[in-house]
């Protein structure tokens, strides 16, 4: 064969084209379907676990054992990002649904405490105006009442809880200029009744009552003038004189703030001696600031917090509130002082053991901005509630309010951070999270969660990030019934 012939033989382009179908056997015709008697199902082909028998059946010699691999969600999410954590146990009041998983979300802080999910049952709720903060609080109060939880709203500044409280048969106590109601923030409450006969227990009881009253008086005076150790001493001694404790009386009187002020004005000899003053004139000179500051508070609280209490609480009712919406007529200082007085009085009122209680403290930002003593006052009340098992709820507009109480690294900021830490359940509704700095770490907010909260707008009312200590964060959409939507109509227009 010549060289040219061999080259033509190797040239593939010169090969004749043939149809592939000519190389394969002709397909077998499909068998006719079996005849079926009337009503009898057609038989199904059975396939063995290792495949069909016969040519081209795909039968395997043996079945392969699949390998099992384990890894944390932090690592595996890169391969399979649709992973999600376990949900909250379905116990308590239904709130809404998880916007990520669609699962139902329920809440019962006390039950979570019993199951070891949280260390305390307190809640911190924050959200911009119109985000659904009030609707969340009202829904939680109403629905937890079915589980034996009685709610007390300490200081309704807008009168918005009244329709709901009255609808469930509760009591709305109104305080303000021109109204007949009076409230004595120095009431001892249940602690002042049935005093123990054992000397040691009696001393401890009296010391606790005095400590609570003294904390309020120091807070009120500090709003006008700095308070030092000697000022606290004179206030404590004035309290002993007004209650009859110095005379070993068999009954413990409940003094009013004007009573304490009058004792400071009179400056009796036992009071002068107790603070180691050489004369009454020296006493008047040293403590003129304290006396004048307390006198200013008496005038500001006239007609509201300056007489024996006429407001009675009934914790057999599912809900009750103290409406101080008219107090705003006297200015911001009167509102802040009123909230502090209510806090002390309400804390004394819930000392009596009984059914589960939830205390709502709304507009906390007002007290946070009033000064470090007001911040200490809230922290003191919260510590008492943790010992007594009460559900305490702090509500404010922004989480950043807890950082705006003072300069970075100040005592006020440190106490405010402790307030956040004392609430193991934090509900963050739509708000601007950009001002957050160190507090985001205290809450446990990730960058993604901060962005999620900041992204919610007017169409996401009632949607909040529930940060539960030990469980993580759950974006939950609040769901209201038609009846609830009507009751909450005062400031919330939310779809069911």
Taking only the tens place, the pLDDT of each residue in 21-36 is 555 566 666 565 555 5
Measured CA to CA, the distance from residue 421 to residue 143 in angstroms comes to 26
Mean pLDDT, rounded, for 368-380: 79
pTM: predicted TM-score of the whole model, two decimal places = 0.76
Strands 391-396 and 319-323: unpaired
| pLDDT on residue 189 | 75
Task: For the sheet with 472-478, list strands across it.
Answer: 104-107, 93-98, 472-478, 463-468, 425-429, 123-126, 391-396, 356-361, 149-156, 319-323, 171-174
Integer Cα distance of 418 and 397 in angstroms: 18
Chain-wide mean pLDDT for the chain? 82
- Res. 492: pLDDT tops 50: no
pLDDT of residue 92: 93
Report strand pairing: 93-98 vs 104-107.
Answer: antiparallel
Helix (H, G, I), strand (E, B) or coil at 475: strand
Averaged over 208-219, what is the pLDDT?
88
Q: How far is CA 161 from CA 176, 212, 334, 382, in A?
A: 16, 28, 21, 22
Interatomic CA distance for residues 471 and 468, integer angstroms? 5
Which two structure tokens, joined as six digits, stand for 186?
Answer: 């120095």
Domains and CATH numbers, the chain: 111-164+357-462+469-487 (3.40.50.300)
pLDDT at 478: 96
Per-residue pLDDT at 496: 37
Where is average pLDDT lowest: 232-236, 245-249, 283-287, 343-347?
245-249
Name residue, tokens 């169409």.
459
CA angle 276, 280, 283 (to 5 degrees): 55
- Over the stretch 444-461, which tens digit does the pLDDT of each residue have? 788 888 888 888 887 788
At 139-186, the pLDDT tens digits run 999 999 999 999 999 889 889 999 999 999 999 999 888 888 888 889
């Amino acid at each position: 064969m010549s060289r040219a012939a061999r080259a033509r033989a190797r040239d593939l382009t010169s090969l004749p084209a043939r149809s592939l179908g000519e190389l394969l056997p002709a397909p077998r015709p499909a068998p006719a379907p079996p005849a079926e008697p009337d009503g009898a199902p057609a038989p199904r082909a059975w396939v063995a676990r290792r495949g069909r028998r016969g040519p081209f059946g795909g039968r395997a010699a043996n079945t392969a054992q699949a390998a099992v691999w384990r890894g944390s969600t932090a690592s595996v999410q890169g391969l399979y990002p649709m992973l999600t954590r376990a949900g909250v146990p379905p116990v308590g009041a239904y709130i809404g649904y998880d916007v990520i998983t669609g699962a139902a979300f329920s809440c019962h802080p006390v039950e979570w405490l019993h199951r070891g999910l949280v260390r305390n049952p307190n809640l911190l709720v924050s959200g911009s105006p119109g985000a659904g903060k009030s609707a969340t609080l009202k829904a939680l109060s109403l629905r937890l009442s079915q589980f034996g939880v009685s709610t007390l709203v300490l200081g309704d500044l807008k009168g918005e809880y009244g329709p709901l409280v009255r609808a469930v048969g509760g009591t709305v106590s109104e305080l303000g200029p021109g109204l007949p109601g009076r409230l004595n923030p120095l009431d001892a409450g249940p602690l002042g009744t049935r005093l123990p006969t054992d000397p040691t227990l009696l001393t401890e009881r009296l010391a606790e009552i005095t400590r609570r009253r003294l904390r309020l008086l120091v807070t009120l005076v500090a709003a006008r003038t700095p308070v030092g150790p000697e000022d606290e001493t004179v206030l404590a001694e004035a309290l002993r004189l007004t209650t009859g404790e110095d005379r070993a009386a068999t009954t413990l009187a409940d003094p009013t703030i004007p009573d304490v002020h009058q004792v400071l004005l009179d400056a009796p000899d036992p009071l002068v001696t107790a603070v180691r003053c050489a004369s009454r004139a020296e006493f008047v000179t040293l403590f003129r600031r304290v006396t004048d500051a307390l006198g200013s508070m008496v005038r500001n609280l006239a007609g509201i917090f300056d007489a024996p209490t006429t407001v009675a609480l009934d914790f057999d009712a599912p809900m009750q509130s103290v409406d101080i919406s008219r107090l705003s007529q006297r200015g911001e200082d009167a509102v802040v002082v009123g909230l502090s007085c209510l806090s002390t009085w309400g804390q004394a009122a819930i000392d009596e053991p009984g059914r589960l209680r939830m205390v709502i403290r709304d507009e906390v930002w007002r007290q946070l901005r009033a000064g470090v003593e007001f911040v200490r006052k809230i922290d003191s009340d919260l510590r008492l509630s943790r010992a007594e098992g009460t559900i305490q709820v702090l509500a404010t507009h922004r989480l950043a309010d807890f950082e705006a109480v003072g300069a970075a690294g100040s005592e006020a900021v440190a106490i405010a951070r402790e307030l956040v830490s004392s609430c193991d359940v934090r509900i963050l509704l739509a708000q601007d999270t950009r001002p957050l700095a160190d507090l985001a770490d205290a809450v446990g907010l990730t960058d993604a969660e901060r962005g999620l909260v900041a992204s919610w707008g007017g169409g996401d009312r009632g949607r909040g990030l529930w940060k539960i200590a030990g469980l993580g964060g759950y974006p939950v959409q609040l769901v209201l019934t038609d009846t609830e939507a009507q009751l909450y109509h005062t400031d919330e227009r939310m779809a069911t």
